[in-house]
């Protein structure tokens, strides 16, 4: 359906130990018969060694599809780098397409690693803590909270480092029962119970939502060994994992206040129980707009809320409402989607200034669509 598809690799293009099973880098490029550009982050150090070492480890057919190097996040005078660029091109016979400068205060979503950057805070902060279990997923759910000027945000693995919070959020998980056991073994269950006794709030998202219930059943061994686990018991519901994963974009409203929400679901569990009689959202999908359904649950004491929606905090009005629910008076409505778009445009402008779009078109053998 598209004239051009750009594929981003993951990790190194020359993982020798993974070559036979590589589906994310050069193995994919070979199978799809596509040209390749390799990008090095010079700000980390060792940029030239990275590029030369990668080139040396590629096979002949892989080298033949390599169309250029790009050096990213360079600080300083480009003229001081030029002798190195000339040497690199001569050494590998691969053109350097451009050097993208370091862009201060640029926010682009992290890929696999947790991003600990914080925005500038004012004196009226809400303290938010996210426990980091071993198989935590979808950490970009919390980027807007990290960058929000009224939120002091912390990822914590060690429960002993918990020094109090207004809101604890349980994130998604790639293996819910295993991470639930980790929460219990590492002391987080006790921390959460005490936090609630002191009047704090808790939100669970996707796998974190499932953990808030009374039981999680995995009869087929979808995520771990077949069996059942006791949940935290904070919501009257049970979840059964099944072989058919739910994957869908959703939109709708929060029932309290009719505030708009949109995001996505990706989970293998189906939840049932009394708690779901107090849903949080009414949702639809694009392919079935005439079939609304409910999502989420909220406890009788209004302290615990759960939902399957990823991207829950990205809508400005809903974010402000949830922060007020958690205890932040006069919460700002931060427009996170616009912040994301503005930063993508900043990056795109810098890249195009260094490597004109027409050069990409020529490199790929296509006409300029503009």
Positions annotated as catalytic residues are 206, 310
Task: Determine the Cα–Cα distance for residues 119 and 105; give it in Å rounded to an integer.
Answer: 9
Of 199, 188, 212, give the one whose Cα is nearest residue 326. Answer: 199
Instruction: Tell me the H-state helices in the chain.
Output: 26-32, 47-57, 60-64, 78-92, 143-147, 176-185, 188-197, 207-211, 316-326, 336-354, 357-364
364 burial class (0-12, 13-18, 19+ CB within 10 angstroms)?
middle
Cα separation, 312 vs 321, whole angstroms: 12
CB 282 within 8 A of CB 252: yes
Cα(200)–Cα(308) distance, integer angstroms: 21
C-alpha of 44 from chain center:
22
Spatial distance between the Cα atoms of 338 and 327, rounded to a whole number of angstroms: 25
**Residue whose C-alpha is closest to residue 348's, from 338, 356, 358:** 356
CA distance 175 to 177: 6
């Amino acid at each position: 359906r598209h004239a051009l598809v750009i594929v981003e690799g993951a990790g190194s293009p020359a993982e020798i130990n993974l070559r036979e099973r590589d589906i994310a880098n050069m193995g994919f490029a070979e199978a799809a018969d596509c040209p390749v550009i390799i990008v090095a982050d010079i700000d980390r150090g060792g940029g030239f060694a990275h590029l030369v070492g990668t080139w040396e480890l590629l096979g002949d057919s892989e080298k033949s599809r390599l169309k250029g190097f790009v050096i990213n996040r360079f600080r300083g005078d480009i003229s001081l780098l030029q002798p190195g660029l000339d040497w690199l091109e001569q050494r590998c016979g691969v053109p350097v397409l451009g050097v993208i400068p370091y862009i201060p205060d640029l926010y682009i979503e992290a890929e696999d690693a947790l991003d600990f950057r914080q925005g500038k805070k004012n004196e009226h902060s809400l303290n938010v803590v996210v426990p980091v279990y071993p198989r935590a997923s979808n950490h970009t759910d919390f980027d807007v909270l990290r960058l929000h000027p009224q939120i002091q945000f912390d990822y914590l693995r060690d429960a002993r480092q918990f020094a109090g919070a207004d809101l604890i959020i349980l994130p998604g998980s790639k293996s819910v029962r295993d991470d639930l056991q980790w929460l219990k073994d590492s002391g987080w269950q006790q921390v959460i119970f005490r936090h609630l006794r002191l009047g704090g709030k808790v939100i669970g998202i996707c796998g974190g939502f499932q953990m808030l219930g009374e039981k999680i059943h995995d009869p087929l061994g979808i995520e771990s060994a077949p069996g059942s686990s006791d949940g935290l018991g904070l919501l009257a519901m049970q979840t059964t994992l099944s072989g058919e994963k739910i994957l869908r974009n959703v939109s709708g409203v929060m029932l309290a206040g009719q505030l708009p929400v949109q995001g996505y679901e990706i989970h293998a569990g189906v939840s049932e129980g009394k708690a779901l009689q107090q849903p949080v959202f009414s949702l639809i999908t694009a392919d079935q707009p005439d079939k609304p359904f409910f999502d989420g649950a909220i406890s009788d004491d209004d302290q615990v809320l759960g939902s399957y929606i990823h991207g829950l905090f990205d809508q400005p009005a809903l974010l402000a409402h949830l922060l007020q629910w958690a205890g932040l008076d006069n919460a700002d409505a931060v427009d996170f989607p616009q912040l994301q778009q503005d930063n993508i445009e900043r990056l795109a402008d810098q890249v195009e200034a260094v490597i004109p779009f027409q050069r990409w078109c020529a490199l790929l053998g296509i006409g300029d669509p503009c």
